[in-house]
Structure 1
Amino acid sequence: MAAHDSSIEELDTTLFITVSGPPGCGATTLCERLADAIGCPYVSGGDIFRELAEDRDMSLNQLTAKAEESDEIDRALDQRLQQIAEKWGMANKPFILESRLAGWLAGDRADLRIWLDAPEEVRLDRIEDRMETEAEMRVREVSEAGRYESYYEIDIDDREFYDLHLNTARWSKRAVYTIVRQAIEEYDPELDEGAFTTPSMTV
């Protein structure tokens, strides 16, 4: 979790929130701001992937290559994330889970499921200082979508069950945070008429 930013006003909530989206969508920035404001734990799929690499004494590139060879790595990652979601889904305490499949893995345990996106050219510009090239990003997205369908029979492009779907290219980072914060502050479980049901997924 990021160090406390005194410029961010505290946010009082007990919601279990998932944030998902493709590379460069702004998920990390939003999650860090939310976790700081709420004062709650925040776990990302990237963190767990790095833990898996360390457990196996492998580099991230080596683990990524191995994930292409079999379903072992993907399933280990998703199982760990699902276990985390199950734990916090019963805790009645605030928590943020971020990964491409976070909304699917948390399912109906999550109180608020968010999907962030932006046009491809915007996302590419945002990740230009990362190790991943444009071609690698495109290949990874296609590869991941194929693996999700093959392993779990899910369509990652099915976003009907998300509660918020934001194009982060339309607003500043602060504005995206403000929009999500407003949704959290205005949420009243007594007025909630029901979320869309998350399609079933077996990890």
Structure 2
Amino acid sequence: MAKNGNISTSVIKRLPRYYRFLGELEKQGIERISSRELSEMMKLTASQIRQDLNCFGGFGQQGYGYHVASLRDEIGHILGVDKEFPTILIGAGNLGKAIAMHINFGTRGCRLAGIFDANPRLTGETVGSIAIRHTDEIEEFCKEEHPVIAVLCIPKANTQAIADKLVELGIKSFWNFSHYDLTIDHKGIEVENVHLGDSLLTLTYRTNQLGKAEDE
């Protein structure tokens, strides 16, 4: 567990990377690894890795390093992957369907319980094993199933109003793909805004810089 509640966002954002890299090591049958070896894989300093993990108590042994499976389990517990947070997805267009089909919610602490869309033509269509429901059914569904996470793949203009309504229905966290920087003015609500286009623009910037360097 964390030593205190003041863990920086940068540390939190590195935890999934640790979890992923340790999973790859585990698949390779590697039982232990030093902070130096892990730093070389992840392109971080060994000091940074030790500092990050010490935020949660530290898990290594001097002269031994880290036990890969145990460290991955500990980080997974911190991340909440051993939970089954009931989750709903709003917006069953191309992006919503892709997320529902290709993100393994179960290995990330979530249970995708319902998919909703305002288009009546999609009602009853299945995505995986889940039938799409009309958004008119969200309120009744939330009262019965008590989801706490919502994935938003909806038009930008609708995002704030729908999010406010979902908070009233018990949603505590949002994974937001709506191209709207969602900020919920309610205590205890978490938001992760995802802008895929921003990631691509970051890459095009770096590619542009490569071109400039080659011209010099």
TM-score between both structures, scaled by the size of structure 1:
0.24
Q: Give the structure with the larger strand fraction.
A: 2
TM-score between both structures, scaled by the size of structure 2:
0.23
Q: Which is greater in Rg? A: 2
